[in-house]
């Protein structure tokens, strides 16, 4: 179980650097801000999904709830936004209070490997940059398939490493961070999605956006370092700086990407 985000110092760091979106942006211009680009990601991910005010969406791994708020506000749909991290759920509830989306969203604690929801109950299952944390991705996708209604859509984006391009030391570092002994690349994701029973409707390789986003996140961390040193313990800062710096290099070198899959339950 990845409880990374429940650590108070890690939570503070993500809040300060990533803001409310713990996901990559889609950049049209080099000087797009992180916030503009992450807003665009939600938009382009949702564009092909036929959602409306009658739709019921299940978001898993919902972070600080920004995508749930976006979907509810754009489509008027109801969203069950779930997460394993109680710390993030608390922030998500706070940030949603008083917003136009509040009446449409419920925030619930749930592990995406074992969802406490009935079969065939959602129109859309949304998993944005959260599958990377799972040691058993086929099980997560089997749960998605189970809770979706026939004809329902699974929307997935993820930070996906390119196992065939990583050298042995890089492979070891990535596996240690994600507590896994196996790395899945983009083709493995497509295969897992099909093996769960889905029809894959669309795939997009957004590798260049991963490179831009990782560089911008690292630059922001460098700029804010004097303030961060006042607020966050040196060990957390050092550990995260090292891995974000490594991930920025991997993304620049095409070894870490960002991919989008849209799938449908027949």
Ligand X SMILES: C[S@@+](CC[C@H](N)C(=O)[O-])C[C@H]1O[C@@H](n2cnc3c(N)ncnc32)[C@H](O)[C@@H]1O
Q: Using CB under 6 A as the criterion, which residues of the chain lie in contact with ligand X when the complex forms?
A: 2, 5, 21-23, 60-63, 66-67, 83-85, 88, 111-113, 128-130, 133
User: Which token pair is 51?
Assistant: 């959602």
Map 236-250 to HEC letters. HHHHHHHHHHHHHHH
Q: Quote the CA–CA distance of 75 and 50 in Å, as a whole number.
A: 9
> By C-beta, is 167 or 250 nearer to ligand X?
250
**Nearest alpha-carbon partner for 92 in 13, 100, 83, 132:** 83
Give the shortest CB-226-to-ligand X separation in angstroms.
26
> By C-beta, is 22 or 72 nearer to ligand X?
22
Name the residue number minimizing CB distance to ligand X.
Answer: 63
Residue where the block lists tokens 């493995």: 188
For residues 261 and 185, the answer to whether their CB atoms sit within 8 Å is no
Q: Quote the CA–CA distance of 188 and 131 in Å, as a whole number.
A: 13
Give the shortest CB-43-to-ligand X separation in angstroms.
14
- Return the SS3 of 68: helix
> By C-beta, is 116 or 151 nearer to ligand X?
116
> By C-beta, is 88 or 230 nearer to ligand X?
88
For residues 192 and 137, the answer to whether their CB atoms sit within 8 Å is yes
> By C-beta, is 54 or 94 nearer to ligand X?
94
Q: Quote the CA–CA distance of 135 and 112 in Å, as a whole number.
A: 11
Write the CB contacts of 253 (distance below 8 Å, at least 6 apart in sequence).
165
> By C-beta, is 51 or 89 nearer to ligand X?
89
Residue 254 is given by DSSP the state T
Give the shortest CB-81-to-ligand X separation in angstroms.
9
CA 91 to chain centre: 16
For residues 20 and 95, the answer to whether their CB atoms sit within 8 Å is yes
Give the shortest CB-157-to-ligand X separation in angstroms.
8
Give the shortest CB-59-to-ligand X separation in angstroms.
7
Give the shortest CB-17-to-ligand X separation in angstroms.
12
Give the shortest CB-6-to-ligand X separation in angstroms.
8
User: Which token pair is 237?
Assistant: 């800062």
> By C-beta, is 131 or 263 nearer to ligand X?
131
**Nearest alpha-carbon partner for 12 in 240, 260, 266:** 240
Give the shortest CB-63-to-ligand X separation in angstroms.
3
User: Which token pair is 83?
Assistant: 């997460």
> By C-beta, is 111 or 249 nearer to ligand X?
111
């Amino acid at each position: 179980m990845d409880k990374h985000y429940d650590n108070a110092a890690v939570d503070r760091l993500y809040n300060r650097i990533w803001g409310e979106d713990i996901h990559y942006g889609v950049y049209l211009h080099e000087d797009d801000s992180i916030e503009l680009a992450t807003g665009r990601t939600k938009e382009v991910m949702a564009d092909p999904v036929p959602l409306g005010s009658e739709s019921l969406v299940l978001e898993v791994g919902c972070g600080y709830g920004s995508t749930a708020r976006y979907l509810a506000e754009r489509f008027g749909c109801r969203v069950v936004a779930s997460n394993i991290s109680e710390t993030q759920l608390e922030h998500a509830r706070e940030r949603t209070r008083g917003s136009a989306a509040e009446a449409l969203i419920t925030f619930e604690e749930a592990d995406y490997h074992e969802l406490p929801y009935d079969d065939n109950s959602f129109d859309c299952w949304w998993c944005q940059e959260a599958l990377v944390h799972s040691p058993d991705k086929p099980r997560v996708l089997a749960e998605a398939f189970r809770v979706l209604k026939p004809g329902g859509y699974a929307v997935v984006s993820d930070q996906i490493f390119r196992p065939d391009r990583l050298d042995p030391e890089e492979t070891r570092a990535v596996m240690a961070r994600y507590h896994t002994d196996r790395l899945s690349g983009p083709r493995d994701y497509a295969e897992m999605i099909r093996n769960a029973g889905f029809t894959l409707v669309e795939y997009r390789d957004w590798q260049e956006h991963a490179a831009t986003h990782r560089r911008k996140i690292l630059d922001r961390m460098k700029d804010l370092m004097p303030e961060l040193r006042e607020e966050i313990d040196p060990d957390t800062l050092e550990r995260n700086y090292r891995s974000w710096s490594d991930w920025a290099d991997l993304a620049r070198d095409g070894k870490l990407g960002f991919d989008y899959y849209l799938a449908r339950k027949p």
